[in-house]
Structure 1
Amino acid sequence: MRQYLSADKEKELIETANTLMAKGKGLLAADESTASMLKRFQSIGIENNEENRRLYRQLLLTGSKDLANYISGVIFFHETFYQCDNNGKPFREILKDNGIIPGIKVDKGLVPLAGTNGENTTQGLDNLSERCAQYYRDGARFAKWRMCSSMSSTSYNFICCSNLSERCAQYYRDGARFAKWRCALKIGDGLPSELCIRETSNVLARYASICQQVLRKFSFFSGFRTD
């Protein structure tokens, strides 16, 4: 069976994954959308404009010299990925200079899945290759894709895939040396439907395939292979 990645690329991905999963460190999810920031700022009476969001990110990412002692990678939202500190230096470059790997959220949010009872799928695959290539050129070294389906409110049982965020594929894409995605499914009242399960599997597989085609550098903590 043909191996998709060369030995040197696999070695590089392992090294990147080891850096991201360094003992005592974690990933900082700073990829809140503009709408999510609106909710946070409203609660403290701050106007939700780009400058205030930039100042918040500056405080979060540069406020402590000890950040690199505890954080191995930071997931950015598109806007934040291109923002700079007061001196004009991009946040992603500040992190890189301190040994923290910058990443980017690449999905474009949830949309209703037609033919189901209120289930969702994730959009953003159509131009993912182009966006990933641009993010990589701009310095991102890992990507995050979210796949989350809301089910019946009468049940709180979860399929084990909800922990994909810790063990999912590590890319070298888009600004990415590893890719993170989450697929959280609640079970109840006949949910998830077979259609939703198939759609979720298809979207995640397409995401992984696209990232490989663009970067050809990634690894999978979950043991999943695409060959």
Structure 2
Amino acid sequence: MKNRQLTDTAQALVCGGRGLLAMDESNGTCNKRFAAAGITQTEPFRRAYRELLATTPNLSTCISGAILYDETIRQRTAEGVPFATLLTEAGIIPGIKVDIGAKEMAGHPSEAITGGLDGLRERLADYWSMGARFAKWRAVIALDDRLPTAACIAANAEALAGYAALCQEAGLVPIVEPEVLMAGDHDLERCRLVTETVLHTVFDALYEQGVMLEGLILKPNMILPGLACPIQPAADVIAEATVTSLLRVVPAAVAGIAFLSGGQSGELASERLNAMNIKAKASGSRIPWPLVFSFARAIQRPALEIWKGQAVNTAHAQQALYHRARCNHAALRGEYSAALEAA
């Protein structure tokens, strides 16, 4: 019965032409973004902003699930409704970020290992009781001409697999996020080679832990050159490289692939996602998983810049949020365009 529930939840998150809204920024990250926008960095303002996101009209037409942070899942709307309840009633599945962030890896300068396994079984039980039905864990893989090391890849893969097994034990669908970072001047080919190595290692670890792939969602980076690379290929080139790599290393049994935005602009992320889904349509049944999104800044940024912590701007900010969600919703059908962006 639990396996069926996991599979059903995973399918609900990635099917039907919708994607995920990542609103799981830690308090520190949220405060940094608030500071840049001139917004007061306190819990009441974080709560108000999260209510703005969660109460955006018609959001469920484009968004299947929302990833929350520990503070957020414990918060309520101004009317006293828990955010998880609000989202569920709106037709959006609540999820929860459960890692505690990346820490410096001992003996490996410039590399990081994600923590949070200690006490995770108990925390997952609490999150389930609060209404969460899926979870997320992010591993951070730095990339340059000598990194990542095999040790860093292996350590993060083992942590991801341990987390995923605990999630499924608790009845939560694990989103597995091994992010190869965009920072640097590496080219597309270097990103491809490293990403394929990382994913190979992650799926080996998942297999060893007995994780059921039908009840799991992969949240990978797109195959992209570094931000400082002088050659930035067109969207169709990135789509070809990304889909080809995934076909090489991701088992067909995985429920779906929800791309992270990784610091891309909203427009670029939508354009590249659109190119991938055009390719998927053209290939017929060759691509076995839905290709959706799990974006944070690439959806949220315009809304935050409009809101500025002022209630009078809420409706306008929600319109901007819904517009970005609609653009990505169109990209899942291969129908994103400059005309839609300007609408």
Which of the five TM-score ranges fits, normalised by the shorter chain? Answer: 0.7 to 0.9
Per-residue deviation, residues 184-213 of structure 1 (Å, max 9, x unmatched): xxxx22x22121122122111211222233
One-letter amino acid of the counterpart of residue 3, structure 2: E
Task: Say if 2:13 and 2:65, in contact at 8 Å, map to a contact too.
Answer: yes
For residue 122 of structure 1, the aligned residue among 111, 114, 120 is 114
**What SS does the aligned partner of 2:148 have?**
coil
Q: Does 1:207 align with 2:200?
A: no
1:41 paired to 2:34: yes
Q: Where does residue 48 of structure 2 map in the other structure?
A: 55
- Structure 1 residue 100, shift from structure 2 partner: 0.8
Query: In the alignment, which of 132, 148, 156 is matched to residue 140 of structure 2?
Result: 148
TM value normalised by structure 2: 0.50
Q: 1:44 to 1:126 in 2, by over 3 A?
A: same
Cα distance in structure 1, aligned partners of 2:252 and 2:114: 20
Residue-pair matches, total = 181
Query: Is 212-221 or 30-39 further displaced after alignment?
Result: 212-221
Once residues 120 and 69 of structure 2 are traced to their aligned partners in structure 1, the CA distance between those partners, rounded to angstroms, is 15
**Cα offset, 1:216, TM superposition:** 7.8
- Kindly provide the CA deviation profile for residues 141-187 of structure 1, in whole angstroms up to 9, marking residues without a partner as x: 000001112232xxxxxxxxxxxxxxxxxxxxxxxxxxxxxxxxxxx
Aligned partner of residue 139 in structure 2, secondary structure: strand
Deviation string, structure 1 residues 8-44 (Cα, Å, up to 9, x no partner) = 3333222212211123211000001111111211122
Q: Whole-Å Cα distance in 2 between the matches of residues 223 and 130 of structure 1?
A: 30
The code of the aligned residue for 1:31 comes to D
Aligned position for 1:27: 20
Q: Mark the runs of 5 or more structure 2 residues left unpaired by the alignment.
A: 174-211, 218-249, 254-343
Distance 1:216 1:95, change over 3 A: closer
Higher strand share: 1
Specify the alignment match of 2:93 in structure 1.
101
Structure 1 unpaired stretches of 5+: 1-7, 153-187
Counterparts of 1:156-195 in structure 2 under 5 Å? 188-189=145-146, 191-195=147-151
2: CA distance, partners of 1:78 / 1:105 = 7
Alpha-carbon offset, residue 224 of structure 1: 9.0
Quote the Cα distance in structure 2 between the aligned partners of 1:134 and 1:123.
19
2: CA distance, partners of 1:24 / 1:39:
32
Kindly provide the amino acid, as one letter, of the partner of residue 139 in structure 1: G
Structure 1 length as normaliser, TM-score? 0.74
1:74 aligns with 2:66: yes
Q: CA RMSD in A?
A: 1.9
| Alpha-carbon contact 2:22-2:68 (below 8 Å) kept | yes
**Distance across 1 between alignment mates of 2:27 and 2:6:** 32
Cα–Cα, structure 1 residues 223 and 80, in superposed 2: closer, same or farther, change >3 Å? same
Identity of aligned residues (%): 43
Within 1, Cα distance between the matches of 2:56 and 2:117? Answer: 35
Structure 2 counterpart SS, 1:45 = coil
* Cα pair distance change 1:93/1:216, threshold 3 Å: closer
SS at match of 1:146: strand
Asked if the contact 2:96–2:132 (Cα under 8 Å) also holds between the matched residues in 1, the reply is yes
